A = this chain, B = another copy of it.
Amino acid sequence: MLTDLPLEELRAYRPHVPEPEDFDDFWSTTLAEARAAGGRATSVPADTPVTAVRVEDVTFPGFGGEPVRAWFLAPPSDQPLPCVVELIGYGGGRGLPHERLGYAASGFAHLVMDTRGQASTWGSGGGTPDPHGSGPAHPGMMTRGICSPHTYYYRRLITDAVRAVDHALGRDDVDRSRVAVAGTSQGGGLALAAGALHEDVAAVVADVPFLCHFERAVRVTDAAPYSEITSYLSVHRGAAEQVFRTLSYVDGVTMARRVTAPTMVSVALMDATCPPSTVFAAANALPTPPTLEVYPFNDHEGGAQEQWLRAVAWLGRVLA
């Protein structure tokens, strides 16, 4: 059943989502530090039976120069290819390379970024540690380091995503004018963030994006992972102001305001995990209206493989 406002109200939903004054400074400093931290990307042939496309096992420097794993897949080509940098949903990691052959089999280079410290709840795992401790936290990633934007987990993960774009841009086999970011759920939130924070992103695909409009999200759903924040606040009763201040540095609505590349957003009207109003809050904040795909009868799985078809077709046009 519908989990949020009617579609007509969603289309007009433009809530006030305040942003911190130093938002841009915060991120430009964070990214500058990450880029200055050094670290070198390495790439070796992946251990996989796949032969139809080339698969590399990549390690690139992310937040603080810390190593982040990724798969790079590409079809045989004698010229640089358009590239999709893919970010993964909450709890998952880069998995195994044969799981995500679609982009490369369709003519794109494809960089699948692992998710630091996650990759242990579903799927086929991953191998990127998050070498940072935290204060008292609820199980999960949502409240790790949440007392300050500087220590917050998503500062690191978003930086990784931006640095993944850097890696793609620096590859000889990638056409740097045609690098897109894409992802579902957490991956969609990261795609908006990377699109906002990296000026060379040429297209953004955010499917049922997470990490948007936290102040509303925690009030209209009790599903994980937004509920991690609610649970944390139910114990740390005086922490709400600081928590929401921290979250304001990673909120997808504020990110969306800064995205200049063409963007596709998909949303599911029966989504109990990422309530559609939070997705529309981000979609409606984009400076240029996105290509919007609405799935009226889907929960958080959204458009799934059918949406992937629409995204591939759209990317083909946008990155042509």
Q: Which residues of A pack against B, CB within 8 Å?
A: 1-2, 48-53, 75, 91, 93, 95-96, 98-99, 101-102, 104-107, 117-141, 143, 218-222, 228, 230-238, 240, 270, 295-299, 301, 303-306, 308-309, 312-313, 316
Contact = CB atoms under 8 A, between A and B. Distances in A.
A232 to B, nearest CB: 5
| Most chain B CB inside 10 Å of its own CB: which residue of A140, A232, A237, A303 | A237
A129 B134 CA distance: 6
Contact of A50 (B102, B231, B303): B102
B117 A134 contact: yes
A236 B296 CA distance: 11
Contacts of A91: 139
Contacts of A143: 120
A84 B31 CA distance: 48
Nearest to A98: B102
A134 B141 contact: no
Specify which of A48, A135, A141, A303 lies most central, judged by the most chain B CB atoms within 10 Å of its CB: A135
A136 B119 CA distance: 6
A69 to B, nearest CB: 10
B136 A297 contact: no
Given A129-B133, A129-B134, A129-B136, 16 more contacts: A1-B230, A49-B312, A51-B107, A52-B107, A53-B105, A98-B106, A119-B136, A120-B136, A120-B143, A123-B305, A124-B304, A130-B133, A131-B133, A218-B297, A234-B298, A234-B301
A158 to B, nearest CB: 17
A136 B117 contact: yes
Given A101-B101, A122-B235, A270-B230, A139 B136 contact: no
Given A129-B134, A133-B132, A124 B306 contact: yes
B129 A313 contact: no
Contacts of A106: 49-52, 98
Contacts of A230: 1, 270, 297
Nearest to A137: B120
Nearest to A236: B125
Nearest to A156: B133
